[in-house]
Structure 1
Amino acid sequence: MRDYVQTAEEAARRAGHVLRAWSSKFTVREKSRSNLVTEADEAAQAAIHDFIHGRYPHHGFCGEEGLSVAGNDSTYRWVIDPLDGTTNYVHGFPYYSVSIGLECRGEMIVGAIFDPIHDEMFLAVRGEGATLNRRPLRCSAINQLDQALVIASLPVNTDRHDEAVRRFLSVLPVAQAVQRTGSAALNLANIAAGRVDGFWSTSLKPWDMAAGILLVEEAGGRISKIDGSAFQLEVPNLLASNGLALHEQLVAALV
């Protein structure tokens, strides 16, 4: 397991260096309306894949920028988001990250999320806890929604009639603060760090969530669907919290 987490960390740092190097020279195109991609995304993903594949050539891969490799060993799959928060990156807003998770037989066992702007490396290992720059993490002790900072993730091209907007507005008057930040991976990492108390979305992909859900769980938090039922990585339905009574209060507000 130590080799896997060291590999995830090194790959994330390499991708972070790529993103910083590209930060003033990329061009942008739209995958769909308001869904952006840059050369930086693609170069960072290539750096991650090439480094990990060099160490574990038989492992599978799943990544945002069209990366899908079954691998000869179906036991392990690396789930990669080379740039989570592309729109923030494009605009120079310092809230984006690299996210790398390792799945073994359908269970996340290693997670790494790197914030290259603030040089923060979040790591988690199944059964061994979560850390930020080697310091142990623990979720917050906020137990009431009216004292909580929570984050919503809204879909690309959201209009006022979208169910996600209704959920946002239902929580807005009862939480202390509701934010929308643009990087799901960092949102989850910051729940693990005790900086954020809750986060929900119904529009994420596996690579947005893979590393972050392990960080939250290993820091004492809770992961479910927004109705409180069991979470599934392949289903875009996520509620993450510090694991206290706040979780059920969010469920009641969202459903």
Structure 2
Amino acid sequence: MSSDPYGARLETAIAAARRGADELIQRRTSHTVSEKAPKDLVTDADLASQQAIRQTLTEAFPGDAFVGEENGENDPPESVRRGDADAPPCWIVDPLDGTVNYVHGLPGYAVSIGLFAEGQLQLGVILDPGSGELFTARRGQGAHLNGQSIKTSDCGELSEALLVCSFATRVAKDSQEVKSFVNMLGRCRAIRRLGSCALNLCYVAAGRLDGYWASCVKSWDAAAGLIIAEEAGADVTRIDGTELSVWDPQFNVAAGAGLRQQMSDVLVAED
């Protein structure tokens, strides 16, 4: 392996994201929609995007593992999950994050590609086909938007923070997710629910949002965005403040450690 095994992978991931985005754009007004489960939508665009992304990545790096939201490719090899020294690099892909927005003709959907290797996330690429915004990051090299360095906001007080959250597809009115939302609503400046985990994390990275929590997303929703946010300076933990695993991404992400702790205090508080 070369001394820089991830530079070529980053460029390939960008190319793969553009191929996936092209599939989404081509089907923007002519896609077919079905339900994987009640309220959990999938389109032929999701499937075509993942096929294009997978082909690009695996042709360039045939020894790498692949995890994608569609086509039953949801589980990483156990060696990857454990972070074994001999585990292959593993791509973690959401070919269309924000499917409901896409189906309804709303902005706020993206292609998301992360790479997990050597026991941690190594790079992330998120492309918003509607705006053309390309967010990228490599471990130890910062985060970028269309090639320009980005960083989180300097917000340190929960009362001044603009936050975003995600709910489960079939959230119940008496669920902890709803209780946490109501508790947080009374403590922060405002809360948004935008519909794309990947873009939410990018917006925290770019300083547009100050914090984001989610207990209902999957590794493919979050992987690329988590490293982009971390490389932009965000404090990234589990909701309770403990160490986060990308394979169980119940996370709390904020512009800094102080704000993240204030969010955690609210999220884990007893009613």
TM-score bracket for this pair, using the shorter chain length: over 0.9
Q: Do the aligned partners of 1:59 and 1:74 also contact (CA within 8 Å) in 2?
A: no
Residue number in structure 2 paired with 1:125: 138
Tell me, what secondary structure is at the counterpart of 1:119? coil
Displacement after TM superposition at 1:75 (Å): 2.2
Distance 2:161 2:124 in 1: 25
- Alignment of 1:67 with 2:67, yes or no, is no
Displacement after TM superposition at 1:58 (Å): 1.0
Distance 1:209 1:236 in 2: 7
Q: Percent identity?
A: 40
1:50-104 C-alpha deviation (Å, 9 max, x unpaired): 0111100111000000225759x73200000000000010001100000000111
- Alignment of 1:136 with 2:149, yes or no, is yes
- Alignment of 1:42 with 2:55, yes or no, is no
Residue number in structure 2 paired with 1:146: 159
- Alignment of 1:11 with 2:16, yes or no, is yes
Distance 1:74 1:52 in 2: 17
Distance 1:106 1:170 in 2: 35
Matches within 5 A, 1:82-231: 82-231=95-244
Distance 1:132 1:67 in 2: 29
Q: Which of 54, 57, 60 is the matching residue for 2:62?
A: 57
Q: Do the aligned partners of 2:63 and 2:88 also contact (CA within 8 Å) in 1?
A: no
1:170-217 C-alpha deviation (Å, 9 max, x unpaired): 001111110111100000011111101100111111001110110011
**After the TM superposition, which parts of structure 1 deviate over 3 Å for at least 4 consecutive aligned residues?**
68-71
User: Please, which runs of 5 or more residues in structure 1 have no aligned partner?
Assistant: none
Residue number in structure 2 paired with 1:23: 28
Residue number in structure 2 paired with 1:243: 256
Amino acid at match of 2:211: G
Amino acid at match of 1:11: A
Q: Do the aligned partners of 2:155 and 2:256 also contact (CA within 8 Å) in 1?
A: no
Tell me how large the CA RMSD over aligned residues is: 1.3
Distance 1:175 1:231 in 2: 24
Deviates more, 1:168-177 or 1:228-237: 228-237
Q: Do the aligned partners of 1:141 and 1:244 also contact (CA within 8 Å) in 2?
A: no
TM-score normalised over the length of structure 1: 0.97
TM-score normalised over the length of structure 2: 0.91
Tell me, what secondary structure is at the counterpart of 2:155? coil
Q: Which of 57, 66, 78 is the matching residue for 2:91?
A: 78
What is the number of residues matched between the two proteins? 254
Residue number in structure 1 paired with 2:83: none
Displacement after TM superposition at 1:2 (Å): 1.6
Displacement after TM superposition at 1:244 (Å): 3.8
Displacement after TM superposition at 1:116 (Å): 0.6
